Structure 1
Amino acid sequence: MIFAVSGDLVSAAFFAFAGIFFDFFDGLAARALNAHSDVGLQLDSLADMVTSGVVPGIVMVQLLSQAITGHTLDIINVFAEDGWNTSIISYIPFIGLLITVGSAYRLAKFNVDTRQTSSFIGLPTPANTLLILSLPLVLAFQNSIQIEEIILNKWLLIILTLVSCILLNAELPLFALKFKTWGVKKNSIRYVFLIVCFALILLLKFIAIPIIIALYILISIFWKPSEI
């Protein structure tokens, strides 16, 4: 979050990805160590809110700022007397914080929704975070004039912000990637999906991430999560 606020979006992305990695395995670790508790459940949600709620919201603010002004915001000093442009356009980047609001609502619903024990209703916040944070990585490591024009289009970023908020809270059943067992029969779709993801990342690098998120949604639409 500190890196995102300071405009270092690449470091913010890598730290957020590390947080998502540990979030993926925390359930397995808790079950293996018999260390699950109500406190752990609450800490998990609070960590998700920072890593997969606050961080992607701030990153979107910075991307919108780049798209509109050509540079990231110094959010720490943005409201200083000489550091703030009072024109209406200067407020537009903060539309990105809708992702934080949408993520908070999605996480709160998840905590009280008994339907989401073995699958998800709506796009999980870590998946949405991977989508948003892949954009600065593409800009940093796979940039071209065409790619920059696409990613740093303010209208595209605003639409992506709104669509991500909708997907986070839509009544859309999606399969969970967390493994309760390692058996191939019960996890065949998961294993195939992970293999395809690995292949796409090798071929396309960070550009593969938005494709993977779209593939995840499509698989869930064509296969009922209860059957996966």
Structure 2
Amino acid sequence: MVKQLPNLITTLNLLCGCLGAIFAVSGDLVAAAIFVFLGIFFDFFDGLAARLLNAQSDVGREFDSLADVITSGLVPGLVMVQLFQIGLFGEMRSFLDLVSNQPWKTYWMDYLPFVGLIVTVGAAYRLAKFNVDTRQTTGFIGLPTPANALLILSMPLIFEFQYSPEVENWVFNPYFLAGLTVFSAFIMNAEVPIFALKFKSWDWASNKVRYIFLIIAVIALIALKFLAIPLLILLYILISLFWRD
């Protein structure tokens, strides 16, 4: 029974992703972000529990990736679609009304926000590659999907809790959203080594960069709140480009 604890934690991740998807479709992007953050929290601990209990398995690995497709793939894509709708039309529209009541040839512009689902496709492909890539045992090739989800989901949180006219113009700018969508799908699948935040030991010498990054992250989150998240993700990528474990 204890051996099933990692799968139970993965189940919590999956359920958080499902709830996040429901809230994203209904237009509550803050609630969607909260559930994605919870799902990522559980995603971190299912692998840790599997290692501690010596309960790692092929099924557990596949289950973890399937849960991540929902939490760190589908929900960020849906949120991006909603951000595009606000940026292009000034409001979030019902997907059911869009599909059922408007002919494609007449209202094709209304379907442009679905470009945001490229994020979901990119995340799913990245997770499929991860499962068969033997190089990603101690680090990553391409930005991990949870980090990318944090990047996308930080946008509605910045708008909601750190509002300014400049923030509104930035978060809902269609050109910015298009660029972020393309960058997101690209960086998740790029042949770029990304260091893992997993500690093999606790000594300073072999974990200096990890400790420094975590200290910077804590200070940035205290000082900048949600605005720190995209900056930290970019810093994470930049450090990985110039540092090798």
User: By the TM > 0.5 criterion, same fold?
Assistant: yes
Distance 2:207 2:46 in 1: 19
SS of corresponding position for 2:93: coil
Aligned pair in 2 of structure 1 residues 60, 86: CA closer, same or farther (>3 Å)?
farther
Is 1:162 aligned with 2:182? Answer: yes
Quick one: which amino acid aligns to residue 169 of structure 1? N
- For normalisation by structure 1, the TM-score amounts to 0.93
Q: Secondary structure at the match of 1:36?
A: coil
> Quick one: which of 108, 119, 126 aligns to 1:106?
126
Aligned-partner residue type, residue 142 of structure 1:
Q
Name the aligned partner's letter for residue 137 of structure 1. Answer: L
The SS at the match of 2:206 is coil
State the AA in 2 paired with 1:50.
I
Counterpart AA for 1:202: I
Alignment of 1:147-226 (within 5 A): 147-224=167-244
**Alpha-carbon distance in 2 for matches of 1:142, 1:83:** 38
Q: Which runs of 5+ in 1 are unaligned?
A: none
Q: Which structure exhibits the higher relative contact order, with contacts defined as CA atoms closer than 8 Å and separated by 6 or more residues?
A: 1
CA distance in 2, matches of 1:76, 1:204: 38
8 Å CA contact retained: 1:5, 1:76:
no
> Match of 1:103, as an amino acid?
A
Q: Identify if the C-alpha distance between structure 1 residues 176 and 82 changes in structure 2 by more than 3 Å, giving closer, same or farther.
A: same
Whether 2:22 is the aligned partner of 1:14: answer no
CA–CA distance in structure 1, aligned partners of residues 71 and 234 of structure 2: 21
Query: Which residue number in structure 2 is paired with residue 140 of structure 1?
Result: 160
Q: CA deviation at 1:82?
A: 6.8
Task: Return the alpha-carbon distance in structure 1 between the equivalents of residues 199 and 97 of structure 2.
Answer: 44
Give the number of equivalent residue pairs.
225
For the Cα contact (< 8 Å) 1:77–1:83, is it kept in 2?
A: no
User: Is 1:6–1:75's contact at 8 Å kept on the other side of the alignment?
Assistant: no
Letter in 2 for 1:48: D
Higher share of residues assigned helix: 2
Secondary structure of residue in 1 paired with 2:101: coil
1:28–1:180 contact (8 Å) kept in structure 2: no
1:85 deviates by: 9.7
Looking at structure 2, the residues matched to 21 and 30 of structure 1 have their Cα atoms a distance apart, in angstroms, of 15
After superposition, what is the alpha-carbon deviation per residue over 1:42-86, rounded to whole angstroms, capped at 9, x for unaligned?
110001100111010000000000001111132344323379994
Alignment of 1:17-96 (within 5 A): 17-81=37-101, 86-96=106-116
Amino acid at match of 1:166: F
> Does the 8 Å contact 1:177/1:190 carry over to 2?
yes
Gaps (5+ residues) in structure 2? 1-20
- Distance between the aligned counterparts of 1:142 and 1:84, measured in 2? 37
Paired residue secondary structure (2:149): helix
| TM-fit CA distance, 1:151 | 1.1
| Cα distance in structure 1, aligned partners of 2:68 and 2:106 | 33
Counterpart amino acid of 1:141? F
